[in-house]
Amino acid sequence: MMMRKLFFEWRYLVGRAPWDTGVSPPELLSFIDTHTAGRAIDLGCGTGTNVLTLARRGWRVTGIDFSRQAIRRARRRLAASGYNADLRLQDVTDLSGLEGPFDLALDLGCFHGLTPAGQERYTPHLARLVEPGGTYLLYTFLRTDPSDGLNWPAEAGLRTLFSRAFDLVDLTHGLDHGRHSAWIRFLRKT
């Protein structure tokens, strides 16, 4: 865990975080266009790109990241924009102390970076925080070969892991720089 955290701190510090494009994805924009603004949480918010996008569209947003450098940049970005959000330096695998409910939980590439044990700890926190009927929008890399040694989730594992609290309503496969990926929309069971 410590090495992973140092990796992210270093990447944000030197400005070489290729995942931090500064552009909100069309999947999120489409969701925002078709849903009434409410309360949202961005898990692994990085420098706040999607937090700011949601805030500009009237959402009350909480952003969570374990990188001090990322949260620092997100706070500066929000201050310069004039928008407000609750930004927290916190690990997504332990969201105790955070109060829901949230209408939208967004995870754009954080979940697949967790260890399997971290993914197991993440899930009950997410279920507790998302409003029944609320949406969990996940972008993740997918493991397609069990022998590859990656911690990325397999599609079947995702379905099982979230099936207690969420219904999978949409899954769109893709390729991201040659890596299998998916946009997945879950609804919190009522």
Q: Quick one: DSSP state of residue 111? A: G
Look at the chain and report how many structural domains it folds into. Answer: 1
Per-position DSSP letters for 137-184, written without gaps between them: EEEEE----GGG---PPPHHHHHHHHTTTEEEEEEEEEEETTEEEEEE
**Assigned domain for 30 exists:** no
pTM above 0.85, yes or no: yes
Domain-embedded: residue 120: yes
Q: What is the CATH number of the domain that holds 99?
A: 3.40.50.150
The span from the CA of 45 to the CA of 41, in Å, is 9
Q: Report yes or no on 73 lying in a domain.
A: yes
List, in sequence order, every residue forming a beta bridge with 137; answer none if it has no partner.
Answer: 106, 185
Does residue 158 lie in a domain region?
yes
- Domain assignment of residue 133, yes or no: yes
pLDDT in tens, the chain (190 residues): 666 766 666 566 677 776 777 889 999 999 999 999 999 999 999 999 999 999 999 999 999 999 998 899 999 999 999 999 999 999 999 999 999 999 999 999 899 989 889 999 999 999 999 999 999 999 999 988 777 777 788 899 999 999 999 999 999 999 988 889 999 999 999 9
Q: Does 68 fall in a domain?
A: yes
As a dihedral over the C-alpha atoms of residue 8, residue 11, residue 16, residue 17, rounded to 10 degrees, the angle is 10
Domain of 151 in residue numbering reads as 2-11+38-188
**Cis peptide, bond prior to residue 116, ω within 30 of zero:** no
- HSE (side-chain half, CA atoms, 13 Å) at 36: 2
Asked, for residue 27, whether it belongs to a domain, the answer is no
For residue 18, is it within any domain? no
Give the number of other CB atoms < 10 A from CB of residue 167. Answer: 12
Contact 67, 5 (CB under 8 A): yes
What backbone phi and psi angles, to 5 degrees, belong to 172?
Answer: -120, 115
3-state SS, 3-57, equals HHHHHHHHHHHHCCCCCCCCCCCHHHHHHHHHCCCCEEEEECCCCCHHHHHHHHC
